[in-house]
């Protein structure tokens, strides 16, 4: 397995939750912090198997595998809210970005691009995703 990108998303409100996470990709709310840590998920692009592994970092287990639409997933970025993961697919006839919904761990959108997207980053307010393509940056809006 080739690991091309790693990002983590904290999927809860704040650093702590009042309920222990039963499912690592769902947020559990509560009245306030109690000391129970929230699940942190890592999204790992697997270039050779054309998918993204979702790993629960509290116990280092794969909790989901998300098939990509396109070839060779590389760059990975998570929005600040932890609700979307963006993955570049530079190879093949349809270079694109897959958008993963973290509540279902499914691809909910595919954004076709000209060129070959590699790296990407999400603006801190979540309003834009910045993508490098053949060394030239571009920005995608909400």
Q: Which CATH number characterizes residue 32's domain?
A: 2.130.10.10
What's the mean pLDDT in 19-36? 33
Q: Compute the chain's Rg from CA coordinates.
A: 15
Cα-Cα-Cα-Cα dihedral sign, residues 37, 84, 123, 137: positive
Write down the pLDDT at residue 44. Answer: 92
- Rounded-to-10 torsion of CA 77, 79, 80, 82: -100
Write down the pLDDT at residue 139. Answer: 58
Higher pLDDT, 3 or 49: 49
Banded model confidence at residue 94, pLDDT cuts 50, 70, 90: confident
Domain of 131, in residue numbers: 3-141
Higher pLDDT, 110 or 116: 110
Banded model confidence at residue 27, pLDDT cuts 50, 70, 90: very low
Write down the pLDDT at residue 124. Answer: 94
Rounded to two decimals, the pTM is 0.71
Helix (H) / strand (E) containing 44: strand 40-46
* Top mean-pLDDT range of 1-5, 113-117, 134-138: 113-117
Q: How far apart are CA 47 and CA 57, in angstroms?
A: 21
The mean of the pLDDT values for the chain is: 74
Task: Count structural domains, the chain.
Answer: 1
Q: How far apart are CA 105 and CA 71, in angstroms?
A: 18
pLDDT above 90 as % of the chain: 49
């Amino acid at each position: 397995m080739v690991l091309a990108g790693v990002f983590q998303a904290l999927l809860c409100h704040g650093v702590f939750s009042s309920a222990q996470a039963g499912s690592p990709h769902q947020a559990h709310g509560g009245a306030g912090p109690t000391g129970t840590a929230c699940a942190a998920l890592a999204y790992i692009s697997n270039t050779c198997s054309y998918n993204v592994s979702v790993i629960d970092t509290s116990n280092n287990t794969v909790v989901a595998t998300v098939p990509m639409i396109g070839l060779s997933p590389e760059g990975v970025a998570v929005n600040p809210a932890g609700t979307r993961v963006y993955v570049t697919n530079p190879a093949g006839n349809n270079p694109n970005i897959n958008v993963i919904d973290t509540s279902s761990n499914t691809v909910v959108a595919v954004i076709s691009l000209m060129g070959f997207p590699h790296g990407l980053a999400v603006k801190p307010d979540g309003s834009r995703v910045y993508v490098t393509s053949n060394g030239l940056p571009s920005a995608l809006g909400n």
